[in-house]
Amino acid sequence: MRSFTVKNPKKFMSALLAGDVFDDFLLCEALIKTYNTFSIDGRIIPEYFDDYEFGYEYSSWKDIRPICFELIKGKILPVSFLFVMQLKPDKAKEIMLEEVSSSSIEQIKGLTLNIKYQNGTITVVTATSLNSFIPDKAPDNVWDSYMSDFLKLRYDFVD
């Protein structure tokens, strides 16, 4: 688990809500406080669809992003928000393959990113969710390192 403080909130929010930077993520949960509190459960409800093929348990950030953008945009900053996102499983497996044993990869339930805005500060926290305990910390280390490179080197969001 690693925590990052975003150094340029405006640039980060533009990338998060108007760009495709986070489109490899699924939305598990969103809590947005503006003039009301809006709560989104990102879990897909299969009964809603007639014959839709589900690739994931959660909705794609790309699909939910415009809704969140509509709730946040405006001249007045939100009171707070929290986005709990999970890297798409195929992408998660791809970044783990080179450095993590296959038995450890099988135990990874999800690579999570918590994005929180409160009191003018945006914090991004990584987490690794496992199906069962493994003594190997490699998945945590690989995920933390990947997100550090992603946030620092690729996009210059954090120091």
Q: Residue 159 falls within a domain, yes or no?
A: no
Q: Residue 28 falls within a domain, yes or no?
A: yes
pLDDT in tens, 22-60: 999 999 999 999 999 999 999 999 888 877 666 889 999
Q: Which residues of 104-131 are buried (b: 16+ CB within 10 A; e: fewer)?
A: bbebbebbbbbbbbeeeebebebbbeee
pLDDT in tens, 111-149: 999 999 999 999 999 999 988 887 778 889 999 999 999
Q: Residue 14 falls within a domain, yes or no?
A: yes
pTM (2 d.p.): 0.92
| Beta pairing class for 25-33 and 3-5 | unpaired
Look at the chain and report how many structural domains it folds into.
1
**Cβ within 8 Å of residue 104, ≥6 positions away:** 96, 134, 136, 138, 139
> What's the pLDDT score for residue 159?
84
Range of the domain at 132: 3-154
| 16 closest CA partner among 76, 96, 82, 75 | 82
Is a pLDDT exceeding 90 seen at residue 63?
yes
Q: Residue 109 falls within a domain, yes or no?
A: yes
Q: Mapping DSSP to helix (H, G, I), strand (E, B) and coil, where does residue 99 land?
A: coil
